[in-house]
Amino acid sequence: MDLGQIRGSFEARQVGHSLPQALYNDPAVFAFDMTAIYATSWLMAGFEVELPKPAGYLALMIGQWPVIIIRDKAGEIRAFHNSCRHRGSMLCAAGSGSVPKLVCPYHRWTYNLDGSLFSAGRMPDDFEKADHGLKPIGLEIVAGVMFICLADEPPAFDEFRTRMTAFAEPHNLKDAKVAFESVLVEHANWKLVMENARECYHCGTGHPELAATFPVGMSKHFDFGEEGLAKQFEAAMGKHGFDLGPVEGDWWQLARFRLNDGSLTISMDGKPVVGKLMCEANGGDIGSMRWALDPHCFAHATGDHVFMFSAMPIGPNETHVLGKWLVHKDAVEGVDYDLDRLTELWTRTNLQDKALAENNQLGVNSLGYTPGPYSQEAEMLAQRFVDWYCDKAMAYLDAHAG
């Protein structure tokens, strides 16, 4: 399938409906998505606290592309393509660690933590080390959250930085630690995974445990319940200077919303799962602060913990879902929190979503598949995601026409 055929699939899409079949299962479309979408978007890479000390690194894969984020000896954080400037070998395997310098495992080319080439053995006298440093990639850190972009000209970031700072600062993410992370392999196209993650039309029956604390009957921006209770929540948050939003840009959304009556956090029973709070305002009863980035992630920050969800495409019908749970840096496992209780709700929810997305993929592959309409009350964020995807894809196709 060439770009002209891919354009045809987008042009065939009926507004307000799910996507044509090829956009969910064609290998050529998957390759296009990686180049046109993931390589040109801001992505949430993790948290500043994952690099707690100088000389620490975090290596991750964006699809097939390796990336490394490093805190140098002076404490500055930088991001680079994880590819040696000699013959391209990956410098560090995916994961985290600490190194005094980056050493290529193939021919031992060695890099300083600022990306400059330190040494390259057996090269000619006129070899210029300064011309062979690691290639940097865009990096922004906001309120302790790290964002990267692989594009030479990343999308504008300033408004998101300002808004994200205001919403996230009260959660003290710089004083957190990652208590647990998991990777779930889902045999479904990344867009089906994300559409599912952007709506709660299915939540009442698909996530009975989540429904106990989370407002699954919400409309687009988590509006639900009695007006009086909503005003009480708004007033309580206003006393602490918390913005509720919602606010959104082209590729991001931010909102703070109240949980179900009697729930202090998103957990199996609505009770805090961590004894040491990350945000003590209003006794930790601050609802959930949600941020989301297209194409791949969302996070919920409550008074006691943070949960991050990230969908990374691996193949046309395979997506890896990364989950991370953050707690206060001084919280002690077995004293302030129990790991099973901390992770139980979102683990169950993710496994339920895996089954739903994989079943969705099987049905989309059917000869009888026809794109259907989104609910204008329950699936507005899913439609917003698909509209964004189509608009970004068409902009890329227009820029590369001919």
pLDDT tens, 128-181? 999 999 999 999 999 999 999 999 999 999 999 999 999 999 999 999 999 999
pLDDT-based confidence at 224, cuts 50/70/90?
Answer: low
- DSSP states along 183-250: EEEE-S-HHHHHHHHT--TTHHHH-TTGGGTS-TT--TTS--S-HHHHHHHHHHHHHTT-----EE-S
pLDDT at 220: 63
CA 16 – CA 372 distance, rounded (Å) = 8
pLDDT in tens, 312-324: 999 999 999 999 9
Q: How far apart are CA 306 and CA 44, in angstroms?
A: 14
Q: Can you say how many angstroms the Cα of residue 166 is from the centroid of all Cα atoms in its chain?
A: 19
pLDDT for position 231: 87
Is the pLDDT confidence value at 277 over 60? yes
Query: What pLDDT score does 225 carry?
Result: 57
pLDDT at residue 363, rounded to an integer: 98
Q: pLDDT digit string (tens) for 225-252?
A: 556 778 899 999 999 999 999 999 999 9
DSSP β-bridge partners for residue 58: 69, 96
Q: Torsion-angle region of residue 70: left (phi > 0), alpha (psi -120 to 50) or beta?
A: beta
| DSSP letter assigned to residue 274 | B
- pTM higher than 0.75, yes or no? yes
Q: What is the CA radius of gyration of the chain?
A: 22
Identify the helix (H) or strand (E) that includes residue 36.
helix 27-36
The pLDDT, as a whole number, for residue 230 is 83
- 217 pLDDT band (50/70/90 cuts)? confident
With beta carbons less than 8 A apart as the criterion, state whether 29 and 21 touch: no
CATH, range 158-364:
3.90.380.10
344 confidence band (pLDDT: 50, 70, 90) = very high
pLDDT recorded at residue 64: 96
Per-domain residue ranges of the chain: 43-149, 158-364
Stretch among 117-131, 150-164, 207-221, 316-330 having the lowest mean pLDDT: 207-221
User: 43-82: per-residue pLDDT in tens?
Assistant: 999 999 999 999 999 999 999 999 999 999 999 999 999 9
Task: Report the amino acid identity of residue 218.
Answer: M
Q: What is the CATH number of domain 43-149?
A: 2.102.10.10
Residue 35 pLDDT > 70: yes
Average pLDDT along the chain: 96
- Tell me how crowded residue 363 is: count the other CB atoms within 10 A of its CB: 11
pLDDT at 222 over 90: no
Q: What is the mean pLDDT of residues 385-392?
A: 98
- Tell me if 137 sits within 8 A of 150, measured CB to CB: yes
